[in-house]
Structure 1
Amino acid sequence: MTKTLQDLIDEALFISTEYQARLAELTGDSDWSVDFSAPSFTLKSDPSVSLSPSLLGTESEQRGSWIWSWQELGHFPDEVVTAAVQAREAGESLGVQELTTDELVLSEGLARRLTLAAKAATGLFAHYPATAGGGVRAWLLVDGPQLELPEPTVNRMGRVMAQALQTDTAVHHQRAVDSYARLRGAHISWDTEACAVITATDGALRLWFDEHRISGIEPAEPVVDQRELARAAQDAQKHRAASREDATRALAIAHREAEQQRRAREEAEARRVAATEAALTEQSGQPIEQTEGVERAHADGGNAPFDQEPRHDAEPGIVSMHVVPDEAEESGQTEKTREEHVPAADVPAQAPAADATVSGPDEAVTDQHPIVEEYTAPIESEEETHEDRRTALERLRAEQQAEGERSGTSRPGRDERSTGATAAGQRTPQRDEAPYAEPVSEQEEAAEREAARAEDGSKKKGFFSRFFGL
């Protein structure tokens, strides 16, 4: 059997109106407070009244949406969200999409309509819209022995129906009247679809309908005796008991799903932390052993340029420039090392050469390597591709080769890298400016993408921020 949201609203409207009238008698103009950890909803009247709250969801004017409290379980005690889960389960069984969609775009009266439908699904018929600030209102179902209604009478039921019809919320009045009579424990009999008689302990009412709407009400003679009225009251009790059993099953579902979602959130957080730590490790300046040149240097016994000790002639305030020996020199073909000492004050205000090292008082030569600088430099654009970097690298090498031919000097080759450092007041070379940077490997690109995703995820709002419109 399938129903619509309006069907559930019609079934709950009349009895909801009666319960709201009873709640108004208790609250008056008193303040209230809610503690979901207890859980308790306290009316600060004289004497104070404490009821059991069930959090259905929140509506946020700023966000422009309604969010069911079952969207992310585990943030509230299971018993607090049981009614919302029970409404969702009923929505899945009856095919009511509004009860199974975690977030809905706000429209006029949507929160009240969803609350009325949830009442029909849960058997809890009193609600309180609690203002949470910032244009957010939390809709609660409340329950307690203080809300118990007296025995039904036709006079009381007639006033309730007349009051409810003023809101123009009900559409199918036959369904609304039939549900109200059965939920209240009164007896209802239908002569035709256009006429029904409600019998209670104090008499009876005849109702006329025209196109599913009440067109008239008049006193009538009771059509059943006290035995039938007692049976109708028992049927109402059975309905309430069935609702409590559904609530017990919903509580078990809420507990199970809360544990699953809590574990999933912990695992996601662990993955995010791991991705962040991996990104920070790569940016910390430690040697990255993923390129052939670095692996070769380590294999040769730690003779990588960034592993060398400071030169003996390095002095404070002096820039020492030299050419790192190439493979030919390592095999015995030595070449005279050119050294040039330049006072620090005479160093041009430009980025230092790739083979420059800087020392200061009590300061060791930096162990930063151009390859490490390439990997740890900020990404200029996410759209930059591997082929773009290769093209830029080839262009830079061609320019450096031409400059070397004009000046009559040579530059270190691909495996002739030396320590890169930045003098005081000079700018650190960026990614595209690194003269001897190799293309980033696929592993590095994957790590960068993972770090970017982790950073983006950290900016997303959490459940409480979304739920309460923060």
Structure 2
Amino acid sequence: MSEVITLANVLDDAALFSLEHQVHLEEVVGEHQWYVNLQEGRFDFTGSRDLTCSRVHLLGSAAPGPQSWLWAWANPSGYPEQLTAHSARVRDFGQKHGIEQLAAAEVPFDALPGGPADPKLEPARVTGALLDAAKVVSGCWTSYHAEVGQGTRAAFLIEHPEFRLPAPTFPRVMRVLQQSIAELPLRDHRRAIHSYARLRGLGAAFTPDHAKLTVTGPDFTIGVEFDQYNRVGEISARSGAETV
């Protein structure tokens, strides 16, 4: 029997790999300003360094007025098809798996899992979540979103050769694990960490009872133990002769 895929599953699958890509984007562009021309399909960074993305994809926008997200494929502004193709792929994925938030043209903020106490954070939270879902579907893992007026946030997937992640190292993988556990709204830590290891090309093996996951890289081994609620209980790690 095939697995029933939910939005929560998709967000957990994306969480850590997406985080690492965003950390890497910050390393690449540094302090910056951004510029986009949607009709020309151009997205630029200026500041610490100048960089023009090789491709840009408009995913959608989150508006605080109607308290909703609008997918780019449904935007009446009539953007070029190549600019909105990834959003259409998300729609098709949502229709295939019965995930209404990915299939519907417009998504109310309160239809998304979780939520902050401050409603001013809603556009950013919703944008980040739906961008993560789009990354899983499209395979494009670097994103950017920003306010474009009156609290509305526009969301993009962006591509450039320098956005590709460097080879996994012990400090980098540990940082991603620790930061994600402390900061991300993970629903199933077990699934999220296993998905990250798989996407990152790391070894990943559970014990028979799935209580512990061993993640292996070129020169490190990380053991992650989980409790009965699929939360991380303890992490042990070894790099070379060192144990953490």
Q: Same fold (TM over 0.5)?
A: yes
Structure 1 counterpart of 2:231, which letter? R
Instruction: Return 5+ residue gaps in structure 1 as ranges.
Output: 223-470
C-alpha contact (below 8 Å) 1:59/1:67 kept by paired residues: yes
1:216 aligns with 2:242: no
Counterparts of 1:24 and 1:203, CA distance in 2: 25
**Bigger-Rg structure (1/2):** 1
User: Does the residue aligned with 2:104 lie in a helix, a strand or coil?
Assistant: coil
Q: Write out aligned runs for 1:135-174 (5 A).
A: 135-174=151-190
Equivalent in the alignment of 2:103: 100
Pick from 215, 219, 222: which aligns with 1:198?
A: 215
1:87 aligns with 2:90: yes
Of stretches 212-221 and 168-177 in structure 1, the one that deviates more from structure 2 is 212-221
Equivalent in the alignment of 2:116: none
Counterparts of 1:221 and 1:65, CA distance in 2: 46
Counterparts of 2:239 and 2:4, CA distance in 1: 36
1:21 aligns with 2:36: no
Call closer, same or farther: CA 1:44–1:221 in 2, change over 3 Å.
closer
> Structure 1 residue runs of 4+, over 2 Å off?
26-29, 106-111
Of stretches 200-209 and 28-37 in structure 1, the one that deviates more from structure 2 is 28-37
1:181 aligns with 2:183: no
1:32 aligns with 2:34: yes
Counterparts of 2:77 and 2:36, CA distance in 1: 18
Counterparts of 1:46 and 1:155, CA distance in 2: 25
C-alpha contact (below 8 Å) 2:29/2:49 kept by paired residues: no
Counterparts of 1:221 and 1:112, CA distance in 2: 33
Structure 1 counterpart of 2:204, which letter? I
Superposition deviation, residue 220 in structure 1: 4.8
Counterparts of 1:172 and 1:46, CA distance in 2: 37
Counterparts of 1:73 and 1:103, CA distance in 2: 12
The alignment's TM-score, normalised by the length of structure 1, stands at 0.45
1:415-443, Cα deviation, whole Å (9 max, x unpaired): xxxxxxxxxxxxxxxxxxxxxxxxxxxxx
Structure 2 counterpart of 1:10, which letter? D
Of stretches 12-21 and 183-192 in structure 1, the one that deviates more from structure 2 is 183-192
Call closer, same or farther: CA 1:168–1:32 in 2, change over 3 Å.
closer
Structure 1 counterpart of 2:224, which letter? L
C-alpha contact (below 8 Å) 2:30/2:49 kept by paired residues: no
Call closer, same or farther: CA 1:19–1:61 in 2, change over 3 Å.
same
Higher normalized strand content (fraction of residues): 2
Superposition deviation, residue 148 in structure 1: 1.0
Call closer, same or farther: CA 1:72–1:61 in 2, change over 3 Å.
closer
Structure 2 counterpart of 1:187, which letter? G
Pick from 47, 67, 91: which aligns with 1:64?
A: 67
C-alpha contact (below 8 Å) 1:181/1:188 kept by paired residues: yes
Call closer, same or farther: CA 1:30–1:220 in 2, change over 3 Å.
closer
Equivalent in the alignment of 2:139: 123
C-alpha contact (below 8 Å) 1:154/1:199 kept by paired residues: no
Counterparts of 1:90 and 1:60, CA distance in 2: 23
User: Does the residue aligned with 1:44 lie in a helix, a strand or coil?
Assistant: strand
The alignment's TM-score, normalised by the length of structure 2, stands at 0.85
Superposition deviation, residue 41 in structure 1: 1.1
Structure 2 counterpart of 1:205, which letter? I
Select the structure with the greater relative contact order (CA < 8 A; seq sep ≥ 6): 2
Instruction: Return 5+ residue gaps in structure 2 as ranges.
Output: 111-121
Equivalent in the alignment of 1:294: none
Counterparts of 1:48 and 1:156, CA distance in 2: 25
Higher normalized helix content (fraction of residues): 1
C-alpha contact (below 8 Å) 1:126/1:143 kept by paired residues: yes
1:367-412, Cα deviation, whole Å (9 max, x unpaired): xxxxxxxxxxxxxxxxxxxxxxxxxxxxxxxxxxxxxxxxxxxxxx
User: Does the residue aligned with 1:139 lie in a helix, a strand or coil?
Assistant: strand
C-alpha contact (below 8 Å) 1:58/1:138 kept by paired residues: yes
Equivalent in the alignment of 2:117: none
Call closer, same or farther: CA 1:162–1:221 in 2, change over 3 Å.
closer
User: Does the residue aligned with 2:47 lie in a helix, a strand or coil?
Assistant: coil
1:284-330, Cα deviation, whole Å (9 max, x unpaired): xxxxxxxxxxxxxxxxxxxxxxxxxxxxxxxxxxxxxxxxxxxxxxx
Q: How many residues align?
A: 222
Equivalent in the alignment of 1:6: 8
1:92-124, Cα deviation, whole Å (9 max, x unpaired): 222211100111222432222111111111112
Tell me the C-alpha RMSD between the 2 structures: 1.9
C-alpha contact (below 8 Å) 1:61/1:135 kept by paired residues: yes
Superposition deviation, residue 189 in structure 1: 0.9
